């Protein structure tokens, strides 16, 4: 199914929720029970939670869905966000919570939604790029996600990704993560050709760039040796 059809389907589900009751009445289901539900019931739960303005007692359940079912959860949140933002009496609290939930996923789906929000209001939602990249460190390599961000083709996303990376790379832990992401990307420790054309390295303007390059290359070589059992 193409993206436009997916978007229309999600929007239809959100609109339908405003004129019909959820199929289930939810109590204090555990986060694990919510995760084990079938997809239609999970959709009902998400829509019901948004209808109630993201109550605190559903935070754990929503967190579990955001982390493990972002492809299902985030488009629903994004569709409701777009509807709320078009309202002259949009709830600031709802928008703030919903947008933070999007960023919490820290994955490609989150960045896709953030790109759409930035198109609506870059000043308001641009910060979510850094939030998404920071949150991604809890679940995956943030620099793998940064490479995905460059592929989105949005100047604001690209600019904010570079800014986040320049700041993050002050620590050796983050330099190691970048080294591993480059190793995954190129299949070897990066040499001069890779550094010259790398989407992140070629955009950064940092002090002591040669020192950073040497450090990351060394980390990449060490990681490669470990993978090869040397």
Q: Where are the domains of the chain?
A: 1-105, 141-230
Question: Which stretch of 17-26, 36-45, 176-185, 186-195 has the lowest confidence by average pLDDT?
Answer: 17-26
Question: Which stretch of 53-57, 140-144, 154-158, 177-181 has the lowest confidence by average pLDDT?
Answer: 53-57
CB-count exposure of residue 130 (10 Å: 0-12, 13-18, 19+): middle
Q: What is the rounded CA–CA span in Å between residue 33 and residue 85?
A: 32
Question: Which stretch of 20-24, 46-50, 106-110, 152-156 has the lowest confidence by average pLDDT?
Answer: 20-24
pLDDT in tens, 39-91: 999 999 999 999 999 999 999 999 999 999 999 999 999 999 999 999 888 88
Does the pLDDT at position 20 exceed 50? no
If pLDDT is split at 50, 70 and 90, which confidence band does 10 have?
Answer: very low
Q: Mean per-residue pLDDT for 222-229?
A: 92
What is the reported pLDDT for 8?
47
Q: What is the pTM of this model?
A: 0.84
Residue entry with tokens 């709830």: 91
CB 216 within 8 A of CB 198: no
pLDDT in tens, 109-149: 999 999 999 999 999 999 999 999 999 999 999 999 999 99
What is the reported pLDDT for 6?
47
Helix (H, G, I), strand (E, B) or coil at 170: coil
Q: What is the rounded CA–CA span in Å between residue 161 and residue 200?
A: 9
The residue count for the chain: 230
Q: What is the rounded CA–CA span in Å between residue 45 and residue 68?
A: 15
If pLDDT is split at 50, 70 and 90, which confidence band does 28 have?
Answer: low
Q: What is the rounded CA–CA span in Å between residue 88 and residue 94?
A: 14
Which residues touch 172 (CB under 8 Å, ≥6 apart)?
Answer: 215, 219
Count of Cβ atoms closer than 10 Å to residue 226 Cβ: 9
Strands (E) in 118-218, as ranges, are: none
pLDDT in tens, 160-171: 999 999 999 999
């Amino acid at each position: 199914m193409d993206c436009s059809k997916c978007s229309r389907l999600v929007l239809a589900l959100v609109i339908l929720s405003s004129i019909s009751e959820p199929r289930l009445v939810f109590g204090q289901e555990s986060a694990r029970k919510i995760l084990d539900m079938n997809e239609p019931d999970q959709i009902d739960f998400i829509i019901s939670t948004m209808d109630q303005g993201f109550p605190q007692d559903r935070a754990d359940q929503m967190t579990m869905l955001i982390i493990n079912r972002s492809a299902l959860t985030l488009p629903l949140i994004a569709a409701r966000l777009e509807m709320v933002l078009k309202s002259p009496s949009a709830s600031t609290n709802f928008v703030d919570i919903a947008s933070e939930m999007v960023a919490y996923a820290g994955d490609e789906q989150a960045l896709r939604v953030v790109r759409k929000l930035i198109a609506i209001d870059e000043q308001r939602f641009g910060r979510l790029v850094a939030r998404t990249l920071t949150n991604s460190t809890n679940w995956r390599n943030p620099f793998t996600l940064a490479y995905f961000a460059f592929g989105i083709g949005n100047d604001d996303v690209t600019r904010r990704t570079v800014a986040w990376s320049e700041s993050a790379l002050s620590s050796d832990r983050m330099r190691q993560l970048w080294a591993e992401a480059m190793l995954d990307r190129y299949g070897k420790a990066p040499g001069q050709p890779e550094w010259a054309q790398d989407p992140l390295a070629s955009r950064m303007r940092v002090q002591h760039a040669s020192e950073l390059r040497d450090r990351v290359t060394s980390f990449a070589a060490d990681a490669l040796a470990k993978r090869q059992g040397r």
